[in-house]
Amino acid sequence: MPANSRQGERTMAKNKANIDLKQSFEKIRNDLSHFIDLSQQEDEKSWLDWIASITTKIETKCWERKNCKNINCPAYKNSCGRCWIIAGTMLPGAIHCDFAQKYESCKTCEVYQDAVCRDPITEIEEHLFVLVHSLRQRQQELKEIATTDFLTEIHNRRFFDSYLSHEYEKIKRNDTSLAIMMIDVDFFKEINDSYGHGMGDQVLKECAQILLKATRQSDMVARYGGDEFIIALHENQQNQNHPSVLIKRIEEYLAHRNSCKGKNVPALSLSFGYAILTKNKDIAETIKKADENMYSDKARRKTMQ
């Protein structure tokens, strides 16, 4: 073969390699850029959208390669295909995949090696994806810690304030309304003094569960501080979710709880107050009004004792 022909083939091969390399890095750049855009949204859907849109798809199917029939495994027939971050050792926390438990790291598994270790670019790209996934997972864990009440395990005031700010923008855009309800445990100090703080904690947990059962998924329940809870209540045209209807539902749960309580367990009662937030009202003023109405209800209940 003439020297110039060999030189031409080498040049063509080099050019093709450069094009492939450029395309590979362009894929990585686009995927990571897309992730940065979605991460600003900080919601689970944006994360799932990014996972689904990753340019590099995984053709190796772990359930076929391992002849796995475990339909309860999160990775089983998962469209993402990345079993190492869905159910394996690269997932923060417990390992869900039976096969992954046999490995110190999924990197030594033939599924990972076939899918990832084909060439250096694919391997580097996957390392970046695993890193991004791990950081996102930690971000979500820290966010949950920061926005969850440690005792009752419902949302805390920090989360509620952020939620209400977003809802208020919707109210102003759509000219709708939102009921804000304040709830306080009656005689909570007496419960702590007579039964101990452990019982007081148990009462708060029970209250949280009763409020969750009484409300709809579209409503927002949070511990506002101390023995106070707050609910953002979305009303509907049929008034089935009017605050007075919700209060009646909560009191029915309380009555059932008190009828079934143990001998050395205090009775539980709550005081309620609500106000309606509209586009012409201030958030702080509406919460203050609901709080005032709640204390009026508490005073009324004391006179009935």
125, two tokens: 């790209």
CB 146 within 8 A of CB 211: no
pLDDT tens, N- to C-terminus, the chain (305 residues): 555 666 666 666 666 766 777 777 777 777 777 666 766 666 666 666 666 666 566 777 888 788 888 888 877 787 777 777 777 777 766 666 666 777 778 888 888 888 888 778 778 878 888 887 777 778 888 888 999 999 999 999 999 999 999 999 999 999 999 999 999 999 999 999 999 999 999 999 999 999 999 999 999 999 999 999 999 998 765 555 689 999 999 999 999 999 998 888 999 999 999 999 999 999 999 999 999 999 999 998 887 76
- Report d(CA 295, CA 299) in Å as an integer: 6
Residues marked as catalytic: 227
Domains, the chain, ranges and CATH?
2-146 (no CATH), 157-304 (3.30.70.270)
Sign of CA dihedral 12, 18, 22, 24: positive
